[in-house]
Every structure is written in C-alpha cells, then in structure tokens.
Structure 1
Amino acid sequence: MSFSQRALMWALGGVLALGIAGCSAEPKERAAFIAFLQTRIVDKAGVHVPRLTPEEEKSFGDYSKHFAVITDYNKSMDAKVQQPLRDMMGKNMPNTMADLMERRADVVALHKASAQLRAVIDTEQAAAGTKRAALKQPDDLKPVYDKAYARTVSEPGNNFKEFLVVMEDMLTSAEKMADFLNAHKDQVKFSGITAQINDQKVLDDANVLMKELSAKNAEVAQAQRKLASMISGR
C-alpha cells in the first residue's frame, strides 16, 4: 500500500471513528430528555414548564429543540393570552343594575376581547402543532413527549378556551339585561344595589333575565375553579 493510500485509509478511519462517537451520544441524550419529561412534567400534578439550565440543554443535545416547541408556546401564551386575560379580569365588572345599564359598552368590549383571546389561542396551538408534527422522535420518546405536550400545550389551551366561552355566555346575558333596563328605564328606579319595578309584567321579565344572569355567573365561577385546579393540580 502506497503512502497516499495509507493516508487515505487513516483519514477515513478517523472520519468513521468520529461518526461512531457522535452517534453514541444520542441514546444518552434521549434517555436524559425522556427522564426529564417524565419526572419534571408528566409525574407532577398541574402545569409545569421548567426552564432548562445550560447543563440540561447540553445534555439533551438536539432534543432541546423538541422542548423548545413547548416553551415557545408557553411564552407566547403568557404574553398574548394570560397577561391580557389577567388585565381583563382585573377590570371591575358592573356590580349593580344601575352600573350595568350605564356601562353596557364596557361589557361589550370585554366580550369582544374574550373572543379575540380565543382566536389567539387557536393560532398558537396550531403553530405549536405544526412544529410538533415536524419532529422526528424515536418510539420510546414519542409517548412520553405526547403526554408532556398534552399537559403543557393542549390541555391548558383548551381549558382557557372553555373558560372564555363560558364567560362570553355570561356577558351575553349581561348585555341582554342592560338592553332590557335601558328599554324600560322609565319604569325602573334604582336604590343602592336594588332595582324597583312597579309594573308586574316588566318585573316578571326582569326576573327571568336576572335568573339567567345569575346562573351564568355561577358557571363562570365553576369554570374559573376548574381552570385554577388544572393549573395548580389541586
């Protein structure tokens, strides 16, 4: 064998050795990532999206990009949905019939904002789903990742949308009540938190609307408790 042939064989041997060494890291990276998903997300009650340390990110290799699908979604949700939702819920809803009649525009604005937030969640879930579908995952990783994805992406998003739908139903009832009060403002007298109506037909109709609004308020409270329980795991 000539010198050039020996050099070529040595070079190829080096490339093959490097290739083997590079491939051997993948099983360890995958095992570390699976253990992380299982212990830090799947096995824990509630919603947990840990922030990777530099050491963890390095230990997962390319699988850290798989986790980025989850973290990117949650960052977007916090900025585009959760913070606006907190701001929206922080606004004082009308708490008397007089307030409701005077502030119907605020109720309509809340209704519109809620519908917009649901559309944002749909968009963010779709974007995360597209990224997830492009991931190439071994058979042992996929079921664990699917559970972690459901816990941190699908379920929170769906529960947020469910809560918003229930709240929009309540706001629809509030708008109906406001319209009714405005239509009969000459027959309604307000005293503190109560409204006095002397006309029996108007009173009966008002009581029907009030019963509906009270029921919708109770549904919102129940949906809010369900959402909080999902997030905290309690």
Structure 2
Amino acid sequence: MALLRACLLGLATASMLLLAACVNKEPQERAAFIQLLQSRMNSASLVPLAGLSEPEKEAVGGYADAYEVITDFQQAMAKAAAPMRDVLAVETLRSVGEIVERRARFEAARKTLAENAARLQDARARADQARAALALPPDLAPVYDGVYDEAVSAPAADLMEAASKLDAVARDALGVADFVAAHAGDILLADGQARVATPTLQQELNLRLQGLNAQSDGLERARAAVSQAAGPARDAP
C-alpha cells in the first residue's frame, strides 16, 4: 500500500507539472505588451524607440519579436540617415566661392543621398513585410499600428522627403557652380563673392542664387528630420 500511495503521489505531481507547463501565458503577455506600447506612445518621441529591458522582454514574451520589427527598422534608418548628416554640412553655404569650391562634394553628396535613400526604402519594405506577417489579436493590432505609424511609417516618409530636398539643394548648387565655370572670363571671385562683368550675367546668376536661397526653409526641415532619424551625433575619435 505504501508503494501504491508513493506511485499515486508521483503521478499526481507529474500531472501538476504537466499542467503548469501547458498554462497559456499569451493573455498576460498580450496585456503587458499593450500596456508597454501605450506607455511608449505617451513618451515625447518614438524616434528612437526605447529598447526592451530584460523584465519587459520577459513580460511580453513572444510579442518581443513584433517589437523588434520596429526597432530593427529604426536601427537601419539611423544608418541611412548618418551619411545624410554629412551632406547637411556640405550644403551649409555662405558664398558663391564656397559653392564653386565644393562642386565635387555636391556630386558626391547626390550619390550618397541616392544610395542611402535606397537603403531606407529597402528597410521600410522589410519592416512592412514583417508587419504584414504578424497575426496580432484584434485588441492589440490598433495599438501596435499606432506605434508603427509613428515609429516607422512617418519618420521613413520624413527622411525620404529630406533626402529629396537635400538632393535638390545639391543639384541647384551644382547649377550655380557650372554657371560660374561656364563664364569664368566674366565672373571674378574675390573673397568668395562674385563680381560679374555684365548686368545680364549678373541677373542670370542672381536667378540661380535666388532659387538656391528659396530652399532654405526646406533645408531646415530636412535638417530636423535627418537629426531625429540619425540620433545624437557621435564625437570624432
């Protein structure tokens, strides 16, 4: 009888362990994930989106993968934005002389912008594909999509627009540099300023410079978008 009671006790213990192993934690993990997303939404900015701490990872369980879809995109976006920050420095102009001197750098800037805009588009496509593959419950999906829109869709669109604006500035600056080069005999650069031989040439040059200056507001918006996407600038070693 003692042996039978021991066997029954062992069977009961094994059954309890099996039951504990089969407990569905998804509702608790989903609730924790919704709460975490809502707390992130209440922060000042979702770019960059704070990573998950170890306790948060444990609390949200399998939903950590859905969170990483967003953070992985933001890491890729930051890598694409960093070279654009260097372009901003090139496009900070004070004189016609600087425009002429930086002609080669404007050509390099346009190449940099095209390459990193393509990288950003690829990262956005991967994130959108991963988002589409997520099977989120009805109560979670709208909360997640709200964070996704602000942390992926909106900053991606803003950075693409910034890249386009920076490219337009570089294109117009090249136009000024080429115009000066084409009329080198009639345009003298002294202390960075242009001295033009004829009123007609002066008017043509002024029109090009006015077009470049007209982009100053857009350039500042691009600066803000790039700075946000790239994150804090790192000091040079």
TM-score range, shorter chain: 0.7 to 0.9
SS of equivalent residue, structure 1 residue 154: helix
- Residue aligning to 2:234: none
Shift of 1:219: 2.1
Identity of aligned residues (%): 28
Shift of residue 82 of structure 1?
Answer: 2.6
With over 3 angstroms needed to count, the CA separation of the structure-2 counterparts of 1:90 and 1:97, relative to structure 1, is: closer
Partner of 1:145: 144
Q: Which deviates more, 136-145 or 67-76?
A: 67-76
Match of 2:203 in 1: 204
Distance 1:225 1:148, change over 3 A: same
Cα offset, 1:224, TM superposition = 2.7
Give a deviation string over 1:140-194, Cα, whole Å, max 9, x none: 0000000111111111111111111111111111111111000001101122132
Q: Name the SS of the counterpart of 2:189 in structure 1.
A: strand
User: How far is the alpha carbon of 1:91 from its aligned partner?
Assistant: 4.5
Aligned length: 222
Matches within 5 A, 1:103-142: 103-142=102-141
What is the CA–CA distance in structure 1 between the aligned matches of 2:19 and 2:32, rounded to whole Å?
A: 24
In structure 2, C-alpha distance between the alignment counterparts of 1:69 and 1:11, rounded to whole Å: 41
Name 1:50's counterpart in structure 2.
50
Q: Deviations over 1:3-48 (max 9, x none)?
A: 9xx9xx9899669734651x1x1111100000000112x2223224
- Which structure has the highest helix share of the two? 1
Question: CA, structure 1 residues 33+157, in 2 after alignment: closer, same or farther (shift >3 Å)?
Answer: same
TM-score normalised by L of structure 1: 0.84
Structure 1 residue 203: Cα displacement: 1.0
Match of 1:214 in 2: 213
Equivalent residue, structure 2, for 1:186: 185
Please report the TM-score for the alignment, with normalisation by the length of structure 2. 0.83
Q: Which residue of 2 aligns with 1:165?
A: 164
Unaligned 5+ segments in structure 1 are none
The residue type equivalent to 1:174 in the other structure is A
> 1-side partners of 2:219 and 2:91: how far apart?
15
Amino acid at match of 2:111: K
SS at match of 1:190: strand
- Contact residue 156 and residue 231 of structure 1 kept, 8 A: no
Question: Kindly tell me: are residues 142 and 225 of structure 1, through their superposed partners in 2, closer, same or farther at Cα, counting changes over 3 Å?
Answer: same
Contact 2:69 2:127 in 1 (8 A): yes
Are the aligned partners of 1:57 and 1:64 in contact in 2 as well (CA < 8 Å)?
yes
Counterpart in the other structure of 1:17 = 19
Helix, strand or coil at the partner of 1:186: coil
Structure 2 gap segments, 5+ residues each: 232-237
Q: Distance in 2 between matches of 1:85 and 1:129?
A: 23
In structure 2, C-alpha distance between the alignment counterparts of 1:92 and 1:172, rounded to whole Å: 11
Question: What's the secondary structure of 1:195's corresponding residue?
Answer: strand
Distance 1:212 1:92 in 2: 14
Give the distance between the partners of 1:92 and 1:195, measured in 2 at CA. Answer: 19
Residue 81 of structure 1: aligned partner: 80
- Contact 2:81–2:229 (8 Å) recurs in 1: no
3-state SS of 2:214 partner? helix
* Residues 171/129 of structure 1: CA separation in 2 closer, same or farther (3 Å cut): same
